[in-house]
């Protein structure tokens, strides 16, 4: 396991160097995956079978709109915004910085929404999802 982890980090560093992302930015593989997840999100939002997901996402919408104006650069879609918010909160916690109660509440909603979406994504990747 230790050897596999070392290789994973070595590959990650190589990709970051290759794409000139050592200091900032997202790897193309991450961008592609986020876009795939967003496409699935759009499909789920139009599916009559996915009411639970739609209701959960609607709880996130006002929080997304509130954060949208504060994020620089602007995310390309709502899923990217929620992922960025979760990542930024993680970084702030690592730095020992405090996160407001309102932000923590938003992160809980984003976390639940992304959790539901990731479960659907896994189903989709296995060919087990039929949203129509």
**DSSP per position, 56-73:** HHHHHHHHHHHHHTT-SS
Picking from 66, 69, 53, the residue whose alpha carbon sits closest to that of residue 107 is 66
Average pLDDT over residues 103-117: 96
What pLDDT does 55 receive? 98
Average pLDDT over residues 73-83: 89
Distance CA 82, CA 45 (A): 16
Cis amide leading into 73 (omega within 30): yes
Q: What percent of the chain has pLDDT over 70?
A: 100
Reply yes or no on whether the pLDDT at 78 is more than 90: yes
* pTM of the full structure: 0.84
What's the residue count for the chain? 132
| pLDDT tens-place string over residues 18-74 | 999 888 778 788 888 899 999 999 999 999 999 999 999 999 999 999 988 888 777
Q: Residue 123 to residues 49, 72, 128, 129: CA-CA distances in angstroms? A: 14, 32, 5, 5
């Amino acid at each position: 396991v230790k050897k596999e982890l070392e290789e994973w980090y070595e590959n990650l560093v190589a990709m970051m160097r290759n794409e000139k992302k050592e200091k900032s930015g997202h790897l193309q593989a991450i961008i592609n995956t986020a876009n795939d997840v967003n496409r699935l999100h759009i499909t789920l939002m139009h599916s009559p079978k996915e009411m639970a997901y739609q209701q959960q996402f609607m709880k996130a919408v006002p929080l997304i709109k509130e954060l949208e104006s504060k994020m620089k650069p602007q995310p390309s879609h709502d899923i990217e915004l929620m992922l960025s918010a979760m990542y930024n909160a993680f970084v702030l916690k690592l730095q020992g910085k405090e996160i407001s109660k309102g932000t923590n509440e938003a992160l809980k909603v984003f976390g639940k929404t992304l959790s539901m979406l990731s479960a659907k994504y896994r189903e989709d990747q296995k060919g087990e999802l039929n949203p129509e």
